[in-house]
Amino acid sequence: RSDQFSFGVALYEALYRARPFAKDGPRTKPRPLPPDSQRSVPERVQRVVMRAIAADPRARYASMEALLEELTRVAAPRRRAMIGAAAVLGLGAAVVAGFAISKSSEPAAAQVENQLCKGADRRLKDVWDASSRATVGKAFETSKRPFQKRSFEALATALDTYSTKWTAAATEACEATRLRGEQTEEVLSLRQACLDQRLYELRALVQVLGAVDEKIVEAGDKLAFQLAPLERCANVAALRAPGLPPTEPRDKVEELRRLLASSKADLISGRHFGSMEAARKAAVLAAEVKYEPYRAEALLVRGASLAGIGNTTEANAVFSDATFAALAANRHDLVTMGAMSNAAVISEGHAGEAKIWLGLARTSAARVGNDAQLEQQLLQIEGLISVARGDLRAAVASQQKALAIAERALGPDNPALWSDLLMMGVTLAKSGAWGKAMPHLERALALREASVGSDHPDVAAILTNLGAAYSHGNFADKARAAYEKALSIQERADGPRNPMLILTLNNMADAMTKAKDHKNALHYVERGRLLAEQVLGNAAPMYHAISTTHAEALYATGRLLEAKKLYDEVLALEEQHKSPFFPATLASRAVLSLGAQNWNEASDLEARSIAAWEAASGRDTPDLFKPLVGMGRARLGQGKRAEARSFLERALAIGEKSQLSTAELDPVRKLLEQTRK
């Protein structure tokens, strides 16, 4: 009978354009009816409405079905009457709108049924409508970045799609109960409570978009893609476990829902500190109203914000708390999200522990049931853990499954698919399968360009990866074209001192060195190194990386003394600042010693590189392939064939597991043959 009270209140508001009770007053006695009510609403309809909102539940109708039957009867066609309603059921998302009873041949009950669940789209007014779209559009116009117009158009399209899906979900939830009788009033209320919260979150995001900054202009439709999926509002088992969210005390509950929505909007838009504070307050309020699912959601947002600013240690602790809060609430969808988030933040350096959290996430996901997005996210994190463990073959398999799920759910041409294709391409590239990476990166490029145009930094990022794939595939002209286009986009978007230029210049120089275009290689790397020093300083890892590329370009042109001097400078800086590139630079420097047949020096450098890689990433990391091969060559040069064979066999095993190309593996096999002679 609480459902018919909510129905009655909403119908009262629609008929009389006023609230039946004072906003902060008791719900024991309705206000007097407006003076013109007799003229606009028949008395027999008034009686039905007033009975539905009676303070004593026993005075109401026996059921919602009885109320609707009476409403249909009293609205029978004795004379023409129009009832304009926009009533909210349960917690407010199933909308009844504009049903007309007239002297029609169609029975009154059928007319009511036809209109009973119409009009859910009206709840999007002032959330995402023509007015809010115009406000956000004007905010984007204040940006001077060349892609702002296309970025807004892509964002607006994504929000249109989400809003349309929300309307369809609200309508379907209503029809399943009101028209088809497939679910109970309790289930309808659960689904509508979930949809209401999604509407809060959409409103909060649109408000953030109205105060646009350059980050938001660049993110564009990616913000809308991060809104919580509406499909979970149809997962009755997950929603039923903790029961309906509380409605009292009303002020605290409303503030809690607002804070939760605000924290998610700030998280999505990259405002991590604001998100953390709003999530902290939401968690406190959720504890006060004793509703653990909201507390778990708030903790998940707080953990994600901490991870976003690089505080993975505290994020790990908060994700753990979120997982246990979700367990207490019996919300296995939230358990899954907490556990897999924990697995993601600790995957680097704690792959074993991450695998345990991933196992908990998988167990919980199985209890949730069919949730394609959860399964896709699990597979992506499984891929990250496999990369951290050095098992790139397993990583590729996980990402392929994740991509297949996304393609089935979204369709092969959905704009949101570009990031999944990019992730697949990058994973394949890491495994050395550059040829297989190319078509995925090319598809990602086509989708992203179609959505945001050719001036967007996302396009530059894809082109940079595509340039590397072309370079490794010996398509030098294609590589150069991709890199030059990426450079042009980055400079137009963020100016000539954009730090992202450093990575592109570094990769371009590397590609030119491979293509034996030494003049252009030195041109690009010198420009990039100078920019890195000016913008980042010589303590930055990216400065170390591009300095190593510079040394490699010098060595390729035969300028050995300059190369050796630069290598030594870089190694000193990397050791001083504990650079993550230190092991790679050691192996690169060893190439000079191997070329000079200085076997002892090469052996020492390769040994240091192997030890550093093992300490950082374990004994199976693909990064060990190059120094192990170098060590095998050095030992062979020293005449230590048995030791050389051991290193080369280990390198070959890692290379095969990582699916490196035959062009990379065949030289190792030939060296192994020499150890057996």
Domain ranges of the chain: 2-115, 484-675
How big is the chain by its Cα radius of gyration, in Å?
A: 31
Across residues 635-639, what is the average pLDDT?
95
Q: CA 677 to CA 642: how far, in whole Å?
A: 11
Distance CA(622)–CA(17), nearest Å, equals: 68
pLDDT at 350: 81
Q: Which of 78, 620, 102 is closest to 394 using CA atoms?
A: 620
User: Which residues are 82's β-sheet partners?
Assistant: 100
How many Cα atoms are found within 13 Å in the side-chain-facing hemisphere of 121?
Answer: 11
- Contacts with 433 (C-beta within 8 Å, 6 or more apart), sequence order: 396, 659, 661
**CA geometry: angle at 343 spanning 342 and 349, to 5°?**
110
How sure is the predictor about 139, in pLDDT bands with cuts at 50, 70 and 90? very high
Q: What are the helix and strand counts (H, E) for the chain?
A: 32, 4
pLDDT in tens, 271-300: 999 999 999 999 999 999 999 999 999 999
Angle of CA points 202, 162, 111, to nearest 5°: 100
Check: CB of residue 292 under 8 Å from CB of residue 326.
Answer: yes
Bridge partners (DSSP) of residue 87 are: 96
The chain-wide mean pLDDT, for the chain, equals 87
pTM to 2 decimal places: 0.77
CA angle in degrees (0–180, nearest 5) for 256-261-263: 95
Assess contact for 116 and 95: CB atoms under 8 A. Answer: no
Q: Is the pLDDT of residue 332 over 60?
A: yes
Q: What are phi and psi of 101, to 5 degrees?
A: -115, 120
Higher pLDDT among residues 549 and 19, named by residue: 549
- pLDDT tens string 146-160: 999 999 999 999 999
Fold of 484-675: 1.25.40
**Is-contact 452 149, C-beta < 8 A?**
no
pLDDT at residue 453 is higher than 90:
yes
Both tokens of 132, joined, read: 């809010």
Q: Which segment of 53-62, 325-334, 436-445 scores lowest on mean pLDDT?
A: 53-62
The answer to whether 314 and 272 are in contact (CB under 8 A) is no
* Residues 20, 6 contacting (CB under 8 angstroms): no
pLDDT at 95 over 60: no
Instruction: Specify the pLDDT at position 142.
Output: 93
In degrees, rounded to 5, the angle at the alpha carbon of residue 58 between the alpha carbons of residues 54 and 62 is 100
Q: Work out whether strand 86-89 and strand 100-101 pair parallel, antiparallel, or are unpaired.
A: unpaired
Q: What is the DSSP letter of 340?
A: H
Distance CA 123, CA 196 (A): 10
pLDDT class for 72, splitting at 50, 70, 90?
low
Mean pLDDT of 317-345: 93
- 94 — phi, psi (to 5°)? -90, 120
- What CA–CA distance (Å, rounded) separates 455 from 151? 10
Q: How confident is the model at residue 430 (pLDDT cuts 50, 70, 90)?
A: confident
Exposed, middle or buried by CB within 10 Å (0-12, 13-18, 19+), for 250? exposed
